[in-house]
Amino acid sequence: MPRSYLLILVCGLLFLGCGKGPVYSEFQALDDGSWKRDNIKEFKISDLEVNQDYQIFINVRNDNTYPFSNLFLITELEYPDGATYIDTLEYVMANADGSWLGKGFGSIKENRLWYKENINFPVTGVYTVRIEHAMRKNGTVDGIVELPGITDVGVEIEKK
């Protein structure tokens, strides 16, 4: 009898220990750890449940050659019917003392950045997320052509 209780306990702990996890997760590497202005990252997402609330994150990996403490992004979320929603976002990448935010050991840090909270996908089909950097130096109009220190960009979606 004690063995059956132990088996039930172990199975219960395994069941409770398994989190929901992401329903979608993809990273795209950048050539030579540098993000070119015209290199728009595109993620095609399907198989999302209709009328389910989700959280969307943008994941960015940077190394010590990243020269800024923040990151500006322009994002597009395109619905299957072609409707497109554009956002300009700013994220803090470093503390005031210059130490990097994010997780990771060594020179690479991974930042999980909020993009959309409690978003609902009303129809089935393919949703497209496009991400481009929008970094500029102070006092200049033209954007930075090649942004060093960004090694990977990704999108992650979780159920709420």
pTM of the model: 0.85
Contacts of 97 (CB under 8 A, 6+ apart): none
Residue 11 included in any domain: no
Domain of residue 84, CATH code: 2.60.120
The pLDDT value recorded for residue 4 is: 54
The pLDDT value recorded for residue 13 is: 46
Residue 13 included in any domain: no
Per run of 10 residues, the mean pLDDT along the chain (length 160 residues) is 52 51 95 94 95 96 95 98 97 94 92 96 96 91 92 96
Distance (Å, whole) CA 134 – CA 147: 10
Domain that holds residue 132: 22-159
The pLDDT value recorded for residue 105 is: 84
The pLDDT value recorded for residue 17 is: 47
The pLDDT value recorded for residue 106 is: 84
Residue 74 included in any domain: yes
Burial track 5-30 (b if 16+ CB lie within 10 A, e otherwise): eeeeeeeeeeeeeeeeeeebebbeeb
Element (H, E) at 8: helix 2-17
Q: How many domains does the chain have?
A: 1
Residue 137 included in any domain: yes
Residue 99 included in any domain: yes
Residue 43 included in any domain: yes
Residue 14 included in any domain: no
Contacts of 156 (CB under 8 A, 6+ apart): 22, 24, 25, 56, 57, 59, 112
